[in-house]
Structure 1
Amino acid sequence: MNPRWLKTLKEYVEALLVAVVLALIIRAFVVQAFKIPTGSMLETLQIGDQLLVSKFHYGLRLPFTDTVLVDVYEPARGDIIVFEYPFNEKLDATRPHLKDVDFVKRIVALPGDTVEIRAKQVLVNGEPANGPFIQHTREDIEPSPLPEGHVEIEVDPAAYFDHCEDVTSACRSKRDWMPKMTVPAGKYFCMGDNRDESFDSRFWGFVDRASIKGKAMVIYWSWTGPTNVRWERIGNKIQ
């Protein structure tokens, strides 16, 4: 191989390495892509939507750690966030595929807020948490697990959130009812907009601040297959 080819090859290798390093830096500090795999956020987010998630929005972190180098914004009610599912080795024994998996949900309640659910109506600090993005696909409401007119009770989140899924009446009651509880410091109560079809904080509890990867910002691509590109969704801001 002559020196000219060696020089050309070296230039290409250097350019490739620079591109890889830049891509890793951007992914670690600035933005990350995320694909919507389920319908838990319908109609806000469709299956097949591909999002850009701002990793800088909630602060600049040291890669591969939870150490925040620069604070920017704090998570707010209504933000749609991407976070690591709070996998529990015991409670999620039948769901090993959820370990190290990222979820996307909307923040409903912040640290220090009280949150309660009565017949599907979510109350935050005693006020209805409504919005045009919420949808219910089931008309059935499970009976309340607590007697009518019961006194307020203190609930131990460690005992209440058992990671059950919507396959039994006892679990469906958690979909529609939840005793009042206070969101602990450094944690967030998150739900899917498709309230009757979302595996969220009602079942597995609060999201740790350190588990939040970033804020969903924009749809950069959307399709259900090569023959069905949803052009009208591309470029839409997520809110």
Structure 2
Amino acid sequence: MFIRRRSEKKKKSIIREYLEALIWAVVLALIIRTWGVQAFKIPSGSMIPTLLIGDHLLVSKSSYGIKLPFSDTVIIPIGDPERGDIVVFLYPEDRDKDFIKRIIGLPGDVVEVRDKTVYINGKKLEDHWGKYTDAMVLPSGAQTRDNFGPVRVPPDQYFVMGDNRDQSYDSRFWFGGRGGFVPRKDILGKAFIIYWSWTDHGFGVRWDRIGKILH
């Protein structure tokens, strides 16, 4: 009986160790996912040439503050999103989807696009991020791609655009072309590095893009 009891106790001890290890693994995973980094894959070309289809990147989820797990509540503020940041956020028209764009307009800014040129508060933006593939400038009134606004960005919200300006569905187009903004609470994090990259068809590795810092 003594030997059997020792065996049962040893078995319970092993089971307990496995359970504790599993619990800690889950806790660590939650901490990393909530406050650390998360991996994303680029499925479309709206951020070309900065991001290509098949790029895999890491997003810092604590760039702008540490949130309570499963909550939008920031418990430790760190910094504010800045113009030019590449951010992943909940798509305003369908919050089940994640989008990635570049912040162009900050809270309180007046954003306007005139003949493909972006203006912030009436001044031409030094827009070295934007790339244009269509030489045609579409007239104002009939579309919002090349002529948009002016609109004022509401408090705690951001105006975002894709770097591939002629082929990006962004703040210019959301909600029927009336313009749309990204609430700060819906920003999941700031993209900071490409850790892997496949060609569009997945047949080759873009070695020159691996380790590229995003800015």
TM-score, normalising length from structure 1? 0.78
| 3-state SS, counterpart of residue 51 of structure 1 | strand
**Alpha carbon RMSD of aligned pairs, Å?**
2.0
CA distance in 1, matches of 2:210, 2:19: 34
CA distance in 2, matches of 1:11, 1:137: 59
How much has 1:6 moved relative to structure 2?
Answer: 6.6
Say whether the 8 Å CA contact 1:76–1:110 is kept in structure 2. yes
Matched with 1:164 is none
Say whether the 8 Å CA contact 2:54–2:202 is kept in structure 1. no
Say whether the 8 Å CA contact 2:65–2:77 is kept in structure 1. yes
How much has 1:106 moved relative to structure 2?
Answer: 0.3
| 3-state SS, counterpart of residue 123 of structure 1 | strand
Q: Which structure 2 segments of 5+ residues have no match?
A: 1-6, 175-179
How much has 1:234 moved relative to structure 2?
Answer: 1.3
Considering only CA atoms, is the larger Rg found in Structure 1 or Structure 2?
Answer: 2
Q: Does 1:238 align with 2:214?
A: yes
Could you tell which deviates more after superposition, 104-113 or 217-226?
A: 217-226
How much has 1:219 moved relative to structure 2?
Answer: 1.0
Q: Where do residues 1-239 of structure 1 align in structure 2 (5 Å cutoff)?
A: 11-87=17-93, 98-145=94-141, 170=142, 173-204=143-174, 205-224=180-199, 227-239=203-215
Could you tell which deviates more after superposition, 228-237 or 194-203?
A: 228-237
Of structures 1 and 2, the one with the larger relative CO (CA 8 A, separation 6+) is 1
CA distance in 1, matches of 2:189, 2:13: 41
CA distance in 1, matches of 2:30, 2:196: 21
CA distance in 1, matches of 2:120, 2:213: 26
CA distance in 1, matches of 2:31, 2:149: 44
How much has 1:54 moved relative to structure 2?
Answer: 0.8
How much has 1:19 moved relative to structure 2?
Answer: 2.2
CA distance in 2, matches of 1:56, 1:107: 17
Task: Count how many residue pairs are aligned between Structure 1 and Structure 2.
Answer: 203
1:1-20 deviation line (CA, Å, top 9, x unaligned): x6677755654554343223
Say whether the 8 Å CA contact 1:108–1:129 is kept in structure 2. no
CA distance in 1, matches of 2:14, 2:128: 57
Structure 1 residues 228 and 9 mapped into 2: Cα distance closer, same or farther (>3 Å)?
farther
Say whether the 8 Å CA contact 1:66–1:210 is kept in structure 2. yes
1:159-213 deviation line (CA, Å, top 9, x unaligned): xxxxxxxxxxx3xx20011121211111110000000000000011111111111
